[in-house]
Amino acid sequence: MIAENMKPLVKNNSVIRQMFEEGDRLRAIYGADKVFDFSLGNPNVPAPAEVKEAFLDILENEDPIKVHGYMSNAGFPEVRHAIAESLNKRFKTDFGMHNILMTVGAGSALNVAFRILLNPGDEVLTFAPYFVEYGNYVSNYGGKLSVVPANTENFQPDLEAFKKMVSPKTKMVVINTPHNPTGVIYTEETIRKLTDILYDKQMEFGTEIFLLSDEPYRELVYDDVEVPYVTRYYANTLVAYSFSKTLSLPGERIGYLLIPDEAVDSSEMIAAAGIAIRVSGSVNAPSLIQLVVGRCLDLKADISYYKRNRDTLYGALKEYGFSCTEPQGAFYLWVKTPTEDDKAFVAAAKSHNILVVPGSSFACPGYVRLAYCVSYETIKGSLPGFKELAREYFGE
C-alpha cells in the first residue's frame, strides 16, 4: 500500500538498521564497554556549559508566549541578525538578517535549497566519498545526483574529472568541508579552482550554477587549519549550516540556510525558502533552541576532546600499518581497508567487536569510516582489536 518511491527506501533501510541492531546484539552479549561502536556521528562531548545557562535564563526570564510561540517562518529576527553579525565579524562578509533562514538542522537547510532550485531532471553534482542522504534529498524534488569519482590521493575533489562532468543540465554542486567521511578540509586553492570552473561553465553554457556548501563541521577544526568562507569566492553560493556538531545538539535540529544578496534572484530565492520551510510542514525551526543558539554563536564544543581521540586513534592505526588520512576537521577517520572488499573488513572488525561503516556506503569502496566522537575509553579499548586486525591482514 505504501507509495512506490518509498519501497526502495524501506528495502535499503534494513541494511542500516541491521548495523544498529548488530550493535545492540553485541552489547547485550559482551557488555557495552566491550563493544567499540564507531558507526554513528553522535557527539559524546556535552554541550558547552553556556548552552545550559542560556536555556535556563530564557526559560526563567523571557515571556513564554514568545519563547514557545510562532514567529516568521524564517525564524526570530534577532537570532538571524546575531548570526549575520557573527559571520560578518569572523569572515569579513556583509550579510543582513534577511540572508539567514533558520531551519530544522542542516538536513532541512539542504532540502530547502534543493526544493527552491531544482526542476525535475536537473542535475546536481557532488564528490565521492559523500554523505549518502544527498541522493535522497535531491530525489525528493525530482533532481538527479551525479557523483565525481574520489581523488584517493588526498581526498581533495578531483577537479579535472569535475570539469568534464559539468553540463548544461548542472543546476547545483554540493561540497562539504570539513568533510564527512574523510575529515579533509578543502584548501583555498581548491575553492578557487572549483569556483573558477563554475564561472567558466556558467559563461560557456549561459546558465546559472549554484554551489551549495554543507558546513556542519565548520567549527570542528584541528591545528588552526583555515576553512575558507565560500560565498567570498563565488556569488551563486548557498550555505547550509547546523549547530548539531558545533554545540553538541544534534537531536535539537537547529541550523540555517544562508542565501547571499550576490546570488542571482536572491530576493526570490529568499522568499521561496521561507515558503519551502512552511509547506514542508515544519512551519519554522523550533523556537526555544533558536533563542539558545542565538546567544551561543561564539562557542563550540571542547575540540581538545576530539583532538585527543584523533591523535590516539590515528597514531595507533598508522603504527599498526593501516593507511589513513589524518583528519584536519570533523570527527571521522577514513581508513583504507587492507582488502579491496570493505564489507569483508567491516565483518572482520566486527569479530573484534569493532563497528565501522563501509566506504561503499559513501560511494567509495575500499575504505571504512570511523566516527571517533566517542569516549576516550572506547578509543583505548578498541586498540587491541585493531592491532589484531592488522596482524590478520599484514602479518607480524
User: Which residues, numbered 13-32, are part of the site for its own copies (CB under 8 A)?
Assistant: 13
C-alpha cell at 293: 543558539
User: Which residues, numbered 33-62, are part of the site for its own copies (CB under 8 A)?
Assistant: 40, 42-47, 52, 55-56, 59
- Out of 170, 182, 237, 284, the only residue in the binding site for its own copies (CB under 8 A) is 284
* Cβ atoms within 10 Å of 287's Cβ, excluding its own: 18
C-alpha cell at 181: 567521511
Q: Does 219 sit near its own copies (CB under 8 A)?
A: no
| Cis amide prior to 129 (ω within 30 degrees) | yes
User: Which residues, numbered 102-161, are part of the site for its own copies (CB under 8 A)?
Assistant: 103-105, 107-112, 115-119, 133, 136-137, 140-141
- Out of 190, 248, 325, 361, the only residue in the binding site for its own copies (CB under 8 A) is 248
Q: Number of residues in contact with its own copies, rule: CB under 8 A?
A: 75
Of 286 and 366, the one with the shorter C-beta distance to its own copies is 286
Q: Does 180 sit near its own copies (CB under 8 A)?
A: no
The secondary structure of residue 336, as a DSSP letter, is: E
**Using CB under 8 A, which of the segments 155-163, 285-293, 314-322, 335-343 binds its own copies?**
285-293
**Interior angle at CA 116, CA 110 and CA 11, nearest 5:** 55
- Out of 282, 325, 328, 337, the only residue in the binding site for its own copies (CB under 8 A) is 282
CA distances from 232 to 235, 246, 274, 285 (A): 7, 22, 24, 27
Q: Does 203 sit near its own copies (CB under 8 A)?
A: no
Report the chain's C-alpha Rg in angstroms: 21
Q: Does 168 sit near its own copies (CB under 8 A)?
A: no
Interface map 346-375 toward its own copies (x if CB under 8 A): ------------------------------
Q: What is the chain's length?
A: 396
Q: Rounded to an integer, what distance in angstroms lies between the CA atom of residue 21 and that of residue 27?
A: 10
Contact between residue 363 and residue 147 where contact means Cβ atoms under 8 Å apart = yes
- Quickly tell me which residue has 519554522 as its cell: 284
Q: Does 287 sit near its own copies (CB under 8 A)?
A: yes
